[in-house]
Structure 1
């Protein structure tokens, strides 16, 4: 009935999920050894980390995945490379900014979940420990789709083994060497390191599989995004500081509503600065995203 290939693909994906869940069990057990930041804090911080990934990366990568699958079925490696490069540059335009912006508003964001300043600080530090891995984490999602386009789920499974192995080893080291009050932050750091290691392996494997990554342009764009995001982030830092978003007695941490307002105001300011810088630099990825919107507005 032609289900053999589907069954093999499903088996590799099931094995990948199983390995991921086993690593998650190790994380949960180690996190219970900590004090201050708990498993709940790790989960909530991870949800914040996943917010831009779920909204931006999954949406854009899914659209490109359809084209990459058709290109792979035709054996058109050049088209696969072009779609991969375009998706990485487009997603990076949002994700690099999101990583910096979330770092700036980590404290008021943590105020959504915690009331005491010590608990707010503990959760904010966990968020900050996760965020360095956000850019490469989103890259990994796209790189995995290249192998899915070629129906090579087995390669993705072995890449996951690298990540889970590094994560489990690092988490166990944290349990032995890190003080209880710092275990949650240490686990978040290990998560970023393990995910980054998997992404590096994926970059090497994808480069070999399709004969290149357009790495020069992808790197150049990400450097530009980072510079613009840091400028916007500095402005956002001034806004959050002015609203008392880093002080125990500040307006930004005085309640959930002030925290929400602080995040919204700082987010709008940072987004505006970032957009102006992208426009001034004439970044083509921005034009590609805004052109359809402007066209519809003109028609309206």
Structure 2
């Protein structure tokens, strides 16, 4: 028996490691292909048509988030897990009812939203691009149905401990969009000299651009069906929705729906303000510049900070469920220090090398040097917002581990109010060329507000958060970051500027100065005895027997 127990433990451990490796690889490749998707779309469409495309593309994602996005992770997955544990059929019938209801609601919602495409275009577009945005919206909005279906299938697979297909399926979506953008460039963009104007867009162009979005999400959904069969789940229509106890689901989902709905107000305002700033001018950045800079910021957060949050969440959830609030506070303190530690050199890279990074990544095809340079400025400001954003996300997950969606939803209202006010002031007070930069600064300020409010309310719930240790660590990290930034600017003073250098030289600058930033940051952090750095150094030295 003991032998069997050891074997099972080893098998479980190796399986967990294998799933972890698959998920890590899938996340990395998904981020990379998502970034390439943005690059290809920018190169194929340029800024004016790209602004219309990005505006229309936001619609299905925005409505999906409003209808189902936040509810899935916070309500649907726990309900399926509970049904698998408590029902005699391991939740099979419950899951089938839930999927049937989701399909019905998604179909009805999609039909209503497609009919409202002109209203959505008026809400978020400008007078210049409204016609193109409306046409694209009619074609893109059906993707809402497949977004929701894909998310439901992902939830079913995750509750059956199958993670590979949900992690890799979005990569297929990205590849479809990349292929669509490449086809558009070959068929149309390469044959038009100069910028691609809104007046250049024809019916076939709209069909190719618009249908690419639902096609990508459809492929993403279909890719999960073989995995569903593999885990033994079979689709069956069940319309006995009373067995779902919908009032209970609605009660659980209410606060999450409020949180998501309020967030969408900020999204709509940001895209509207960016469109108004870009209207009537070829020089003013618009939604595509904002979207590209934000995507780069999120890529850094997704690869670096999410790893810290993911590793910390089981500890927070376990401590919260057992009432060990002091342990939860200690975990939050440790996670906060570690998140800022790993994000600080990334912030320095964005600030010092934002222009070089943006030009190397985005200055291709119709997305010219001016647009790439503007993206670099917004990206640098996004770097300043990166740490507050990551900390606000960490604290939001802490509230969720306490099963407290109400506080998250209520605190989000003043945060979104700050965003909407800041977006409006950016449009009213700043020159058009800096409005999108103002949007990014506003986001950073709102994340600081969110982190401050969450800290105050978390302290009331779980006690002292060790902020003295956190602040002392932050001061040392800021000194290390400032030293790395000074070293980077000193090196760049002797190197060709962005107006003189080609992409090859800029790439060399990114590699060389980026390495300098990392070395100086780690060196100063070690001298200042930042605990996490000394622990990491001791661990590495121990590996080599020193």
* TM-score, scaled to structure 2: 0.50
- Maintained 8 Å contact 2:348/2:517: no
Structure 2 CA distance for partners of 1:132 and 1:176, relative to 1, 3 Å: same
Which runs of no fewer than 5 residues in structure 2 stay unpaired?
1-78, 84-244, 279-283
1:132 aligns with 2:132: no
1:286 aligns with 2:533: yes
- Maintained 8 Å contact 1:129/1:188: yes
Aligned partner of 2:270 in structure 1 is: 27
- Maintained 8 Å contact 1:97/1:226: no
For 2:428 and 2:481, locate their aligned partners in 1 and report how far apart those are by CA, in whole Å. Answer: 37
Q: 2:450 aligns with which of 176, 181, 198?
A: 198
Aligned partner of 1:268 in structure 2 is: 515
Aligned partner of 2:499 in structure 1 is: 248
Deviates more, 1:92-101 or 1:111-120: 111-120
For 2:388 and 2:511, locate their aligned partners in 1 and report how far apart those are by CA, in whole Å. Answer: 26
For 1:113 and 1:182, locate their aligned partners in 2 and report how far apart those are by CA, in whole Å. Answer: 19
- Maintained 8 Å contact 1:99/1:131: yes
Deviation at 1:147, TM superposition (A): 0.8
The alignment partner of 2:442 has SS state of: helix
Q: 1:183 aligns with which of 413, 428, 435?
A: 435
- Maintained 8 Å contact 2:346/2:383: no
Aligned partner of 1:122 in structure 2 is: 374
Deviates more, 1:218-227 or 1:147-156: 147-156
- Maintained 8 Å contact 2:498/2:506: no
Deviates more, 1:95-104 or 1:124-133: 124-133
For 1:102 and 1:178, locate their aligned partners in 2 and report how far apart those are by CA, in whole Å. Answer: 23
- Maintained 8 Å contact 1:96/1:222: no
Kindly provide the CA deviation profile for residues 239-281 of structure 1, in whole angstroms up to 9, marking residues without a partner as x: 333332x3411x2xx12x3322221211111101111222223
Structure 2 CA distance for partners of 1:45 and 1:74, relative to 1, 3 Å: same
Structure 2 CA distance for partners of 1:293 and 1:16, relative to 1, 3 Å: farther
Deviates more, 1:197-206 or 1:11-20: 11-20
- Maintained 8 Å contact 1:33/1:183: no
1:84 aligns with 2:332: yes
Kindly provide the CA deviation profile for residues 205-229 of structure 1, in whole angstroms up to 9, marking residues without a partner as x: 1111111111111001011001011
Deviates more, 1:177-186 or 1:98-107: 177-186
The alignment partner of 2:277 has SS state of: coil
User: Which one scores higher on RCO, CA 8 angstroms, separation ≥ 6?
Assistant: 1
- Maintained 8 Å contact 1:9/1:151: no
Deviation at 1:184, TM superposition (A): 0.9
Deviation at 1:33, TM superposition (A): 1.6
Aligned partner of 1:147 in structure 2 is: 399
Aligned partner of 1:113 in structure 2 is: 362
- Maintained 8 Å contact 1:77/1:210: yes
Structure 2 CA distance for partners of 1:295 and 1:15, relative to 1, 3 Å: farther
The alignment partner of 1:129 has SS state of: helix
Deviation at 1:283, TM superposition (A): 2.2
Write out aligned runs for 1:1-12 (5 A).
Answer: 8-12=251-255
Aligned partner of 2:196 in structure 1 is: none
Deviation at 1:296, TM superposition (A): 5.0
How many positions carry a matched residue from both structures? 294
Q: 2:300 aligns with which of 32, 48, 52?
A: 52
Which runs of no fewer than 5 residues in structure 1 stay unpaired?
none
Aligned partner of 2:233 in structure 1 is: none
Aligned partner of 1:100 in structure 2 is: 348
1:161 aligns with 2:413: yes
- Maintained 8 Å contact 2:348/2:481: yes
Kindly provide the CA deviation profile for residues 156-201 of structure 1, in whole angstroms up to 9, marking residues without a partner as x: 1122222211111221232333332221111111111122111111
Kindly provide the CA deviation profile for residues 40-63 of structure 1, in whole angstroms up to 9, marking residues without a partner as x: 111111122223321221111111
Deviation at 1:297, TM superposition (A): 5.5
For 1:6 and 1:218, locate their aligned partners in 2 and report how far apart those are by CA, in whole Å. Answer: 38
